[in-house]
């Protein structure tokens, strides 16, 4: 029994969320319909406590639970990002969910459970723990997507996500079974030792199927088809959550699997990652041009940004992983800020989602217009905003790995993507004013302002984020 305490110390954030989820379920069941507001506040406190346990916890790394769970700087970095995305989502969602009539206590409970799955996924050190974390996250997300049962679009979004998610889970399981069959072990380090530098065809097939399952969670081409419909159909707070924290967890486990389990198969997995990066950058850049719905625009934007992040991963170097981590941190801040503005798009109490509804925003709400425009410029990668440096890091890593053509195509697709971001800015500042939005909540305006200012001032003092990403990347090598 005594040996269990050190192991639990490494999994303290997960323990906090697990116990907290149980408390929330009991609290919600006892309070009934009156539990929605307090439940959200308690959920935020639980997620905040998990962050504090990481930040203030012991810096000692460790592999526990029979090599199934790893606690290292990489996991700490990505866990803080995922927890932060969940907290901001809950803080911004309360007003929207109340107005939409779906302010149920189950929502924060499911967010906590999904976040628990993300944390388990990020710290997975083997195929079994990977699958357990992935499914805990996915099952919660399936329910959250269809939370608004009376809305046909939300129900359709939930069904699409569930069906395609089940397919991706099956592919991932098939790949995991092939890897176990050929390697004889489920741990990542064991797989790396077993396959060596010359993996056979069975291992390659297993790797491809495993990456296909993870690609669905990252929403990269060719497993992106659910993203626009689910983003548009799900309630906006749910879309905000989908676009932030789960993406971080999916990229984290994809990076860990590739770097830790397949260091000797660089030639095989690099081809797969390069294809997904190229296809995602191209589709995300061109398909978004004709979109009129702001949530669908952000869906294609997220596909493109995941492609840019994979450029760094394709390098397979420490600099590449550092670029991925920096990119994901900046991407999450940009995305949460943009969705803070989208949540604020409400006219006469009714949410609006058309890009044209932003027309003339500079005349009706100059502050929101400025902050949202800064985020659009940052998403486009315009210097000296943080989005430019995010792309710079991953492109430089690709160049150092001699993937020159990948970096060149990344720059070209980034230039194409700039069109639809700048189109939003043009609509905000130069079109005739549309009806003014209702006053946004304090939380929404605060998140929007802080996110845009962070993007604007990142170049002044980038050291904390870059140093944290560098330290996290080192722990994988």
Confidence of residue 117 (pLDDT cuts 50, 70, 90): very high
For the segment 446-452, the average pLDDT, to the nearest whole number, is: 92
β-bridge pairing 350-351 and 62-64: unpaired
Q: Mean pLDDT of all residues in the chain?
A: 88
> Of 88, 149, 86, whose CA–CA distance to 116 is shortest?
86
Q: What is the pLDDT of residue 198?
A: 77
Confidence of residue 408 (pLDDT cuts 50, 70, 90): very high
Location of structure tokens 């990977």: 130
Residue 306 confidence (pLDDT) above 90: yes
Q: What is the pLDDT of residue 300?
A: 93
Please give the share of the chain, as a percent, with pLDDT higher than 70. 98
* Cβ atoms of residues 361 and 370 within 8 Å: no
Location of structure tokens 């934007």: 301
Confidence of residue 34 (pLDDT cuts 50, 70, 90): low
Q: Compute and round to an integer the Cα radius of gyration of the chain.
A: 21
For the segment 229-256, the average pLDDT, to the nearest whole number, is: 90
Q: From its phi and psi, is residue 451 left (phi > 0), alpha (psi between -120 and 50) or beta?
A: alpha
Q: How far apart are CA 123 and CA 435, in angstroms?
A: 48
Q: What is the pLDDT of residue 323?
A: 93
Q: What is the pLDDT of residue 175?
A: 92
> Of 140, 23, 36, whose CA–CA distance to 97 is shortest?
36
Least confident of 31-35, 64-68, 123-127, 236-240: 31-35
Q: What is the pLDDT of residue 1?
A: 44
For the segment 267-290, the average pLDDT, to the nearest whole number, is: 90
Tokens of 111: 């967010």
**Which stretches of 381-441 are DSSP H helices?**
386-400, 404-430
Confidence of residue 36 (pLDDT cuts 50, 70, 90): low
Residue 2 confidence (pLDDT) above 70: no
Q: How far apart are CA 46 and CA 41, in angstroms?
A: 9
Helix (H) or strand (E) holding 131: helix 127-145
Query: How far, in Å, are 82, 216, 416, 455 from residue 285 at the CA level?
Result: 26, 19, 6, 21
Residue 381 confidence (pLDDT) above 90: no
* Cβ atoms of residues 115 and 244 within 8 Å: no
Residue 290 confidence (pLDDT) above 50: yes
* Cβ atoms of residues 389 and 462 within 8 Å: yes
DSSP assignment, residue 60? -
Q: How far apart are CA 192 and CA 261, in angstroms?
A: 5
For the segment 11-19, the average pLDDT, to the nearest whole number, is: 91
Q: How far apart are CA 112 and CA 230, in angstroms?
A: 20
Location of structure tokens 């906590």: 112
* Cβ atoms of residues 390 and 378 within 8 Å: no
DSSP per-residue letters across 291-328: --BHHHHHHHHHHHHHHHHHHHHHH-SHHHHHHHHHHH
Tokens of 34: 């009156």
Residue 242 confidence (pLDDT) above 60: yes
């Amino acid at each position: 029994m005594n040996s269990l305490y050190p192991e639990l110390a490494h999994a303290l954030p997960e323990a906090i969320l697990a116990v907290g989820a149980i408390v929330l379920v009991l609290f919600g069941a006892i309070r009934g319909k009156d539990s929605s507001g307090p439940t959200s506040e308690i959920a935020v406190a639980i997620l905040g406590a998990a962050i504090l346990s990481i930040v203030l916890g012991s810096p000692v790394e460790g592999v526990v639970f029979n090599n199934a769970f790893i606690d290292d700087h990489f996991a700490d970095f990505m866990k803080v990002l995922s927890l932060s995305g969940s907290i901001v989502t809950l803080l911004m969602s309360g007003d929207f969910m109340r107005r939409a009539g779906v302010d149920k206590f189950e929502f924060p409970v499911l967010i906590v459970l999904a976040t628990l799955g993300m944390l388990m996924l990020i710290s997975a050190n083997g195929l079994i723990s990977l699958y357990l974390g992935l499914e805990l996250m996915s099952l919660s997300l399936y329910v959250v997507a269809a939370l608004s049962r009376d809305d046909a679009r939300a129900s359709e979004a939930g069904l699409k996500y569930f069906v395609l998610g089940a397919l991706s889970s099956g592919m991932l399981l098939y790949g995991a079974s092939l890897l176990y069959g050929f390697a004889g072990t489920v741990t990542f380090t064991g797989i790396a030792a077993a396959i060596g530098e010359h993996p056979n065809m069975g291992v390659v097939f297993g790797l491809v199927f495993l990456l296909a399952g993870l690609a669905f969670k990252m929403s990269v081409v060719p497993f992106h088809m659910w993203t626009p419909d689910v983003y548009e159909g799900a309630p906006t707070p749910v879309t905000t959550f989908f676009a932030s924290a789960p993406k971080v967890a999916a990229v984290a486990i994809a990076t860990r699997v590739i770097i830790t389990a397949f260091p000797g198969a660089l030639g095989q997995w690099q081809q797969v990652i390069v294809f997904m990066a190229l296809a995602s950058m191209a589709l995300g850049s061109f398909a978004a041009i004709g979109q009129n719905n702001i949530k669908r625009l952000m869906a294609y934007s997220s596909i493109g940004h995941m492609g840019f992040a994979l450029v760094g991963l394709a390098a397979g170097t420490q600099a590449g992983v550092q670029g991925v981590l920096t990119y994901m941190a900046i991407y999450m801040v940009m995305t949460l800020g943009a969705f803070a503005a989208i949540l604020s798009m409400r006219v006469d109490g009714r949410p609006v989602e058309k890009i044209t509804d932003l027309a003339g925003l500079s005349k009706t709400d100059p502050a929101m217009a400025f902050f949202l425009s800064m985020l659009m410029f940052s998403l486009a990668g315009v210097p000296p905003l943080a989005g430019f440096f995010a792309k710079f890091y991953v492109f430089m890593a690709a160049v150092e790995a001699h993937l020159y053509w990948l970096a060149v195509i990344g720059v070209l697709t980034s230039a194409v993507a700039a069109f639809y971001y700048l189109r939003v800015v043009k609509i905000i500042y130069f079109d005739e004013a549309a009806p003014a939005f209702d006053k946004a909540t304090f939380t929404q305006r605060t998140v929007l302002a802080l996110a845009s200012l962070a993007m604007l001032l990142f170049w002044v003092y980038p050291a904390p984020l870059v140093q944290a990403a560098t330290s996290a990347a080192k722990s994988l090598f």
